[in-house]
Amino acid sequence: MAGLFALSIDPAVYRGKFLDDLFWETFYRQHLGEQYGGLSTWDGKKIKIQTHRGLFRHTFQNNLMDLEGTEGIGYCGHTREPLFVHSKIGEMSVCFSGNIINRQELVDEFKNFDHTFERGGDDIEVIVKLIVQGVDIIDGIKRMAEKIKGAFALLVLTKEGIYAARCSTGHWPLVIGEKKGAVAVSSESGGFKNFGFKLVRDLKPGEIVLLKEGKIETKGTISGEKVQICSFVWVYTAFPNGVFEGVPASLVRKRLGAALARRDIERGFIPDIVTPVPDSGRFHAIGYHQEFCRQMMEGKIRRVPLYDEVLLKWPYAGRSFTPQDEEERKLEAHIKLLVSGENYIDKVLVINEDSIVRGTQTSENLVPKVESIGVKEIHFRSSNPELNSYCPYGKTTKKGELFAAKIPSEKERIEFLGSKAENKQIVKSLKYNTIEDLVEAIGPPREQLCVDCDLL
Q: How far from the centroid of its chain's Cα atoms is residue 202's Cα? A: 16
How do beta strands 348-353 and 311-313 pair? unpaired
Give the angle 248-251-256 at the CA atoms, nearest 5°. Answer: 130
Judge whether 316 lies within some domain: yes
Give the angle 198-199-203 at the CA atoms, nearest 5°. Answer: 145
Does 348 lie in the same domain as 221?
no
Residue 364: Cβ-neighbour burial (10 angstroms; 0-12, 13-18, 19+): middle
Does 338 lie in the same domain as 256?
yes
Closest CA to 74 of 32, 17, 137, 132: 32
Does 256 lie in the same domain as 192?
no
Does 270 lie in the same domain as 210?
no
Asked if 209 and 430 touch (Cβ cutoff 8 Å), the reply is no
Judge whether 233 lies within some domain: no
Element spanning 285, H or E: helix 282-297
Which CATH number characterizes residue 268's domain?
Answer: 3.40.50.2020
Does 167 lie in the same domain as 271?
no
How many whole angstroms separate alpha carbon 83 and alpha carbon 126? 11
Which CATH number characterizes residue 143's domain?
Answer: 3.60.20.10
Residues in the chain: 456
Query: Which residues form the domain of 381?
Result: 248-454
**What pLDDT score was predicted for residue 300?**
98
**What pLDDT score was predicted for residue 224?**
86
How many whole angstroms separate alpha carbon 59 and alpha carbon 354? 31
Does 286 lie in the same domain as 143?
no
Does 386 lie in the same domain as 310?
yes
Structure-derived torsion over alpha carbons of residues 188, 191, 195, 200, reported in degrees to the nearest 10: 30
Give the angle 169-174-179 at the CA atoms, nearest 5°. Answer: 150
Does 95 lie in the same domain as 49?
yes
Asked if 30 and 57 touch (Cβ cutoff 8 Å), the reply is yes
Q: How far from the centroid of its chain's Cα atoms is residue 226's Cα? A: 21
Does 57 lie in the same domain as 7?
yes
- Report the DSSP beta bridge partners of residue 83: 94
Judge whether 306 lies within some domain: yes
Q: Structurally, how many domains does the chain consist of?
A: 2
Backbone φ and ψ for 349, nearest 5 degrees, come out as -115, 130
Per-residue pLDDT of the chain (456 residues; tens, 9 = 90+): 899 999 999 999 999 999 999 999 999 999 999 999 999 999 999 999 999 999 999 998 777 888 999 999 999 999 999 999 999 999 999 999 999 999 999 999 999 998 999 899 999 999 999 999 999 999 999 999 999 999 999 999 999 999 999 999 999 999 999 999 999 999 999 999 999 999 999 999 999 999 999 999 999 999 987 999 999 999 999 999 999 999 999 999 999 999 999 999 999 999 999 999 999 999 999 999 999 999 999 999 999 999 999 999 999 887 665 556 667 777 888 899 999 999 999 999 999 999 998 888 899 999 999 999 999 999 999 999 999 888 888 766 666 677 777 888 899 999 999 999 999 999 999 999 999 999 999 999 999 999 999 886
Does 128 lie in the same domain as 90?
yes
Does 207 lie in the same domain as 164?
yes
Judge whether 242 lies within some domain: no
Q: Is the dihedral of CA 253, 241, 31, 129 positive or negative?
A: positive
**What pLDDT score was predicted for residue 334?**
86
**What pLDDT score was predicted for residue 323?**
56
How many whole angstroms separate alpha carbon 168 and alpha carbon 235? 22
Asked if 430 and 414 touch (Cβ cutoff 8 Å), the reply is yes
Asked if 102 and 150 touch (Cβ cutoff 8 Å), the reply is yes
Closest CA to 293 of 307, 279, 281, 283: 307
- Report the DSSP beta bridge partners of residue 28: none
Judge whether 90 lies within some domain: yes
| HSE-up (13 A, CA, CB side) for residue 412 | 7
Q: Long-range contacts for 135-142 (Cβ within 8 Å, ≥24 apart)?
A: 135/89, 136/89, 137/89, 137/90, 137/92, 137/163, 138/163, 138/208, 138/219, 138/220, 140/89, 141/165, 141/208, 141/220, 141/222, 142/208, 142/220, 142/222
**What pLDDT score was predicted for residue 321?**
57
Judge whether 240 lies within some domain: no
Asked if 166 and 121 touch (Cβ cutoff 8 Å), the reply is no
Residue ending a domain, choose from 227, 261, 280: 227
Q: Is the peptide bond before 279 cis (omega within 30 degrees of 0)?
A: yes
3-state SS string over 303-342?
Answer: CCCEECCCEEECCCCCCCCCCCCHHHHHHHHHHHEEECCC
**What pLDDT score was predicted for residue 398?**
66
Judge whether 238 lies within some domain: no
Fill in the amino acid letter for 48. Answer: K
Judge whether 439 lies within some domain: yes
Does 348 lie in the same domain as 215?
no
How many whole angstroms separate alpha carbon 349 and alpha carbon 374? 11
Q: Which DSSP category does 385 fall into?
A: P
